[in-house]
Amino acid sequence: MKKYFLILILVIIFTIVFSLSSSLAAELKTPAGADAINLSNIAFDGESYLVENYQKFKNQIDNLEHPTVALALSGGGARAIANLGVVKALVENDIPIDLMTGTSMGAIIATLYGSGLSVTQIEEIVTDTPFASLFNFGGGALLNSKKANIFIESVAPQKRLEDFLIPTAQLSFDLASGKKYLATEGKISEVLQASYSIPGYFPIHSREGHYFMDAGVLESTPAKSAALLGADFVIATHTPESRSGYDYGGAFQSASRFLEIIQNRYSGQILDRYSDFIITADVKDYTFMDFNYAARLVEIGYQETLKRMPELKKALAAENISLRASEERETFNLDDELRDLEFDRLIVEESGINPLIYYGRDFSPFNQDLFRTPLDRLQLGIEFYHNRARLSFLGDDSWSDGYTAALRVKKIGDSFDLYLKYKNDNDSATDDEYEAELKYFGRRFNLSGGYGSRAGKEYYLFGNDFRYLGENLQWQSENDIFFTRKEETLNLLSSQLINYDFTKAWSIGAEVVYNSSDFVESPLIYRGQELAEYTDLQASLNFNYNYNLRLPLQLLNFLQLTDIGGYLFADYYHDRDRDQEGLAVGPGFNSRLYLLGLKPIEVELFAAHDFEIQDQRYGLQFSYSF
């Protein structure tokens, strides 16, 4: 009876949070008409555009006391990250930027710079942000990108397009009217989606009867849009894709090739006619999925622009356009925003249901996050979410051996999240497990406190984890202290990961797990024989080599291989209860496959010789979390 009561409590709390969030959202909802679009139908050179607040935007350009220089940033998925390198070189060389237009990734770069961020901070965000954290599966397409839009708005100094330091327009295509659409106003999180909506990949964006998608096929570089808005001199970027070896008998590749031909035809005409200067970044060997090569793509755009700089300055001088140093920009403290992204604390105003599919590691909510015990079976479950609340149910061995339920409520305070967990193993003879925890989130560290029961022992919980991520040294630590209520004993579960990089390829790493309890399971890192679940000490020393491919290896059009690694390891364990210890050594190989350049699938192969049992163990692990 107790188990059903606890489940009922979780559902009731989720329902209360759902109701309160809905009520609060209704109270804070923007009054009708407050964001009504002032839309103009502008005919320009044989084509019609829908432009928001056209006259107001045009007046900003016309009132300038010098010729207007526009920067039109191309799309192209990850390839178009090269646009940031272009902006960086232009700013360093005092090339004026009075107007920006962008589509797809070009719109994202234009939004970040136009809103007031410095190039340095944008580069840190683009090259250091884990893109996988910005996208979830589902939501009307393969990838749900609402979190990405919210994150971009959170780091932007100005949150609305009409308030940007540099007048900025985002180009998309309106399916309802069949016309190109230029957004010049509205909150970033509410309008940015339109510029990169790709049917099947990212959701189609709708707003007030308009349905938007990426305009890249018709105008991959929005140079014509810049001319329509009043630019006197248009600097356009071009990030072309040039692949060979198409399988024209395959539906996907044939359709992709057809769209590429159409895009190149339209893009070539627009670039030739409306661009005064074109910067073509040599990114043809990369695809729209290559987000893991962000730093390299930025450098390609930067170097290409520097190479063309004398020509550009000469072209500007011929039009009597003077160089102007841009005002030095403030460096903003983005610790809170980066913290919220790192720990999945961004609030997305939406409701729905997600399937949970895990393989290769044990993703029970009762386990620590730093190390997860290898698990050679599927874990299947379901998650209900509404705004800041998430309620999940996860089966143990496809629900035949039990299940766990977990409720997380994000941001009950600016820095606090609430966690409630429950576990039932379908055995009436054993006590159910539960835990309530309040967690405080800081930048690179967390603190938590709570109360729970495992294996029949009730305890008070105190936890912390932190991360030090230096240039060569990385240290991650996760620690939980359990004070048992009845026995009044202190128990510690501590996991440590330290890695030192000798070079970009060679490193040495140490892993340690210490567990003084007899009721909290240890995460298993020992690669020799199977260990007891309460093993008190495990340690591992790894000598690693990792080779980053100069270009990603594309597999099946949606998987990438970016690196291949090899390592030698020595693992040690000690079990106080059985008074045993052991040592295992061996070689291993690992790699990551990225689904659409975003979601990693970890692959590991190792062979271990265990000296205690004088036997070998071989492991082949695929680990993914979707």
CA–CA distance, 443 with 462 (Å, rounded to integer): 19
Q: How confident is the model at residue 376 (pLDDT cuts 50, 70, 90)?
A: confident
Please report, for residues 48, 199, 218, 253, the alpha-carbon distance to residue 174 in angstroms, rounded to integers and kept in the order given: 11, 13, 12, 26
Identify whether the C-beta of residue 561 lies closer than 8 Å to the C-beta of residue 549: yes
Identify whether the C-beta of residue 158 lies closer than 8 Å to the C-beta of residue 165: yes
CA–CA distance, 252 with 558 (Å, rounded to integer): 11
Tell which residue, 196, 119, 104, 111, has the closest CA to residue 151: 111
Tell which residue, 28, 589, 614, has the closest CA to residue 349: 28
Backbone φ/ψ region at 258: left (φ over 0), alpha (ψ -120 to 50), beta:
alpha
Please report, for residues 357, 566, 595, the alpha-carbon distance to residue 625 in angstroms, rounded to integers and kept in the order given: 6, 23, 11
Mean pLDDT of the chain: 87
Q: Report residue 249: phi and psi, to 5°.
A: -85, -10
pLDDT tens track for 28-77: 444 333 356 789 999 999 899 999 999 999 999 988 889 999 999 999 88
Segment 557-568 shows an average pLDDT of 87
pLDDT tens track for 478-526: 999 999 999 999 999 999 999 999 998 999 999 999 999 999 999 999 9
Residue 177 carries which side chain, given as an amino acid letter? S
CA–CA distance, 419 with 388 (Å, rounded to integer): 12
Q: Which residues pair with 459 in a beta bridge?
A: 452, 484
Would you name the residues annotated as active-site residues?
Answer: 104, 214
Report DSSP state, residue 187: B
Tell whether the model's pLDDT for residue 8 goes beyond 70.
no
> Which residue's entry shows tokens 């140079």?
223
The two structure tokens encoding residue 499: 């890695």
Segment 165-175 shows an average pLDDT of 95
Host H or E run for residue 5: helix 2-28
Q: What is the DSSP string of 521-542?
A: PPPP---SS---TT--EEEEEE
Over pLDDT 90: what percentage of the chain?
A: 60
Please report, for residues 145, 199, 530, the alpha-carbon distance to residue 358 in angstroms, rounded to integers and kept in the order given: 21, 27, 21
CA–CA distance, 603 with 581 (Å, rounded to integer): 28
pLDDT tens track for 217-276: 889 899 999 999 999 999 999 988 765 555 555 555 655 665 666 666 767 788 889 999
The top-level CATH class assigned to 38-57+69-244+251-309 is alpha beta
Q: How confident is the model at residue 282 (pLDDT cuts 50, 70, 90)?
A: very high
Query: So what's the pLDDT on residue 484?
Result: 96
pLDDT tens track for 431-466: 789 999 999 998 889 999 999 999 899 999 999 999
- 22-26, 65-69, 73-77, 121-125: least confident range: 22-26
> Which residue's entry shows tokens 């967990």?
421
Return the domain boundaries, the chain.
38-57+69-244+251-309, 442-625
N- to C-terminal Cα distance for the chain? Answer: 33
CA–CA distance, 96 with 124 (Å, rounded to integer): 23
Tell whether the model's pLDDT for residue 20 goes beyond 60.
no
CA-based angle 96:98:104, to the nearest 5? 105
Q: What is the DSSP string of 388-435?
A: TEEEEEEESTTTTS-EEEEEEEEEEETTEEEEEEEEE-S-TTS--EEE
Query: So what's the pLDDT on residue 28?
Result: 40
Residue 241 carries which side chain, given as an amino acid letter? E
